[in-house]
Structure 1
Amino acid sequence: MDDKPHILVCGAGSIGRRHIANLQRLGAPVIAWRERAELVGDLAREFGIDTVTNFEPALDAARAIVVATATDRHMPLALAAMRRGKPLFLEKPVSHDREDVDSLERLAAGQIVEIGCQLRAHPNLARLRRELGDGAVAGYRLAMGQRLDEWRPGSDYRAGYSAQSARGGGALSDLIHQIDLALWLFGPVRQVAAMLDRRGPLEIAGDDFSNLLLRHDSGVVGHIQLDMLAPAYRGEAEIVTADHIYRWSLRDGVLSRAQGDNVDVIDSTPETFQRNDLFLSHMRHFLARLDDPALPALCSLADGISALDIVLAARRSQAENRFVTLEKP
């Protein structure tokens, strides 16, 4: 094992492997933890790294930890990291329910935590946030989706947690990025109404087509649509203000601003831009925080918990067929 303090990556699915590759690209020593001993050799062959099955000693020796397991396995690993004072990069969503989340928040006070909502690193959206500033937003529409069986070619979508709402999957939880964007762009949410449906042909134990209405503390009302059945990938936003309509396409990497018949492209990604650039940028920021703890989180634990609370309020709204008002701390 490398004598340098390493980053411990927990989880070896598609997102765990992405984080391992990006950490190596950024020059960080990496080891991985896998719960199943028979799978340990896979990562060693793919990345040339040490892979362990004994979590506690690996965590004790680590400089920081990346938790990229199934969502319903997040809490024990994250809590262990916080109890040892280890900087934590925790994949979204924070968890599949509220159990132990308050304990995690208490333990994390004053510590380095990032939540993996990497769309905040998108240059188009950074420009959009500057454009909106403190201006009066009338309302917005956010959408994201694609057939779940197209997400990870070569794997059985039915076997993963993404196909199971109870484990933190389903469209509502797994595509929580758009909920996080709503919080980042428009501030805290006061009320939630949701219709969580199964509309597609895939074998998903949960919602595959979800619609949310959010009323923010500012009075702004927005619509979020998330799905696991769209035949083509989509990620888009439309924001209406008194002066302009802003439209953004994740697929095209284009942010436009319309007024009357005039439509101007105000930001676009270069041809070399790739989706992984978002993950790489967010991980680079996390590593920078290890050297400079005064740097703010790109997506804090408090932000991640706020998004989780909206998910849970949406499930309650669906169950009780009503608007749910979020409790304020």
Structure 2
Amino acid sequence: MIENIHKPVILVVGLGSIGKRHVKNLRALFPDAYIVVCRHAATEHDQDFVTQYIDKVVYDLNEAIALKPMAAVLCNPAVYHVSVAWQLAKNGIHLFIEKPLSNTLTDVETLITICQEKKLVLMVGYNLRFSKTLNRARELIKSGAIGDILSVQVNTGQYLPDWRPEVDYRKTVSAQQKMGGGVLLELSHELDYVCWLLGKPVEVFARLISSGSLEIDVEDNADVFLTFEKNLMVNIHLDMLQRTACRMCKVVGALGILIWDGVEDRLVVESEKQEFSQSFCGAEDRNEMYGQEIKHFFDSISNGCPAMVTGVDALESLKIVLAAKKSNQIREVVAL
């Protein structure tokens, strides 16, 4: 039986840690919305959360679609993103998909085309684009405040068992090849924001390693070298091994340097001759980025404007990930 619901219906697919974060933010943003969660099985430990924030839980996607949601937030494993999104898009449902867009290129362009034809918003959850300090960094780079960019070094890592300490990390999506895990896809935020800051790279060389220390079947250590126009080289290090969380980006320009600390949400800009020095701090609450991100998604639906991170943007990041994996396999530079 199809329910007669006189409220806007919002669907969330998946109820892991990121799914719960989005549900809480949706409830804060839309107190009167009818929030539906589609998940594969019930668990006792989150029953209190379900009671507090969710109006209905279903275990079949067709049942969720029958409730006629106006938008869906996909927080399921990456290997299922495209197949689930395709069914939702066919039914005219706007899509917010957690990163990465997928773990393969299969049917990704078809999904993008369907959304374009049906005039649906397709946004992907690269939330670092909503960091105030990273936005300030982008403004400074684009304005030429530190001159021509000469080199960029990115270092991001955190010990995988600390990501979600309440669960066995070996059973998480991040740790399993079959679920689209591995450090490249899990930390593809760095690939997205580097391209957002600097444009599209022309080639990639990468080395990926599984250290063995975590007992997982995916790479936990990666070095990716991106080459941009004008011989700009960007070195991106990603790992699941650092006991002290690190998310740093150093941009060296002809007139100065810019250092972004994503953990502390702090940006420092200095000239080489110490002619100027500036420091910027971002939000104290890390959740603010996620709240702004989901609000932007619904604003894009309302005003018909493109989302901050489109399906096309996310596809470019996915192509870099797959090219990096190919480079690692053949031990050669791969053109993008």
Question: Shared fold by TM > 0.5?
Answer: yes
Asked if residue 167 in structure 1 is aligned to residue 158 in structure 2, the reply is no
Query: 2:139, 2:203 → 1: CA distance?
Result: 25
Question: More displaced, 24-33 or 8-17?
Answer: 24-33
Match of 1:215 among 204, 227, 232: 227
Amino acid at match of 2:322: L
Of 71, 77, 91, the match for 1:70: 77
Retained in 2: the 8 A contact 1:163–1:205? yes
Q: Map residues 37-48 of structure 1 onto 2, 5 A cutoff.
A: 42=47, 44-48=50-54
Residue 57 of structure 1 deviates from its aligned partner by 3.6
Equivalence map 1:196-215=2 (5 Å): 196-199=208-211, 201-215=213-227
Query: Which residue of structure 1 aligns with residue 259 of structure 2?
Result: 247
1:325 aligns with 2:335: yes
Counterpart of 1:287?
298
Aligned-pair CA distance for 1:37: 5.2
Shift of 1:101: 1.0
Q: Do the aligned partners of residues 40 and 156 (structure 1) sit closer, same or farther apart at CA in structure 2, a change above 3 Å counting?
A: closer
**1:96 aligns to 2:108 (yes or no):** no
CA distance in 1, matches of 2:72, 2:230: 36
After the TM superposition, which parts of structure 1 deviate over 4 Å for at least 4 consecutive aligned residues? 37-41
State whether structure 2 residue 41 is matched by structure 1 residue 36.
Answer: yes
Q: How many Å apart are 1:92 and its aligned residue?
A: 0.4
Q: Secondary structure at 2:70's aligned position in 1?
A: strand
Instruction: Look up the match of 1:24.
Output: 27
Kept in 2, the 8 Å contact 1:187–1:218? The answer is no
Q: Does 1:181 align with 2:193?
A: yes
Q: How many residues align?
A: 323
Instruction: Give the C-alpha shift of residue 38 in structure 1.
Output: 6.2
Aligned mate of 1:298, from 305, 308, 316: 308
SS at match of 2:89: helix
The answer (yes or no) to whether the contact 2:257–2:272 under 8 Å persists in 1 is: no
* Identical columns (%): 30
Structure 2 unaligned runs (5+)?
none
Measured after TM superposition, the shift of residue 170 of structure 1 is: 1.0
Secondary structure of the 1:62 match is coil
Residue 132 (structure 2) pairs with residue 127 (structure 1): no
Query: Given residue 31 of structure 1, which amino acid in structure 2 is its aligned partner?
Result: V
Say yes or no: does 1:56 pair with 2:58: no
1:146 corresponds to which residue? 158
Secondary structure of residue in 2 paired with 1:66: strand
- Cα deviation per residue 1:126-157 (whole Å; 9 max; x = unaligned)? 11111011642112111211011000121011
Q: Say whether the 8 Å CA contact 1:245–1:259 is kept in structure 2.
A: yes
User: Counterpart in 2 of 1:277?
Assistant: 288
Q: What is the rounded CA distance, in whole Å, between the counterparts of 1:210 and 1:25 in structure 2?
A: 37
Distance of 2:95 and 2:264 partners within structure 1: 32
Deviates more, 1:55-64 or 1:93-102: 55-64
User: Any residues of structure 2 matched to 1:100-111 within 5 Å, and which?
Assistant: 100-109=107-116, 110-111=119-120
State yes or no: 1:80 paired with 2:93: no
Q: Deviations over 1:242-290 (max 9, x none)?
A: 00110011122211112235362332125xx221111111001112122
1:137: which partner in 2? 149
- Report deviation, 1:196: 0.4
CA–CA separation in structure 2 for the residues paired with 1:52 and 1:166: 25
Whether the 8 Å contact between 1:147 and 1:229 is mirrored in structure 2 is yes
Amino acid at match of 1:59: I
Looking at structure 1, the residues matched to 312 and 9 of structure 2 have their Cα atoms a distance apart, in angstroms, of: 26
Match in the other structure for 1:227: 239
Normalised by the length of structure 2, the TM-score is 0.91
Of 270, 279, 294, the residue aligned with 1:266 is 279
1:218 shift after superposition = 5.2
Q: Which residue of 2 aligns with 1:112?
A: 121
Kindly report the root-mean-square deviation, in angstroms, between the aligned alpha carbons of the 2 structures.
1.9
TM-aligned CA deviation for residue 202 of structure 1? 1.0
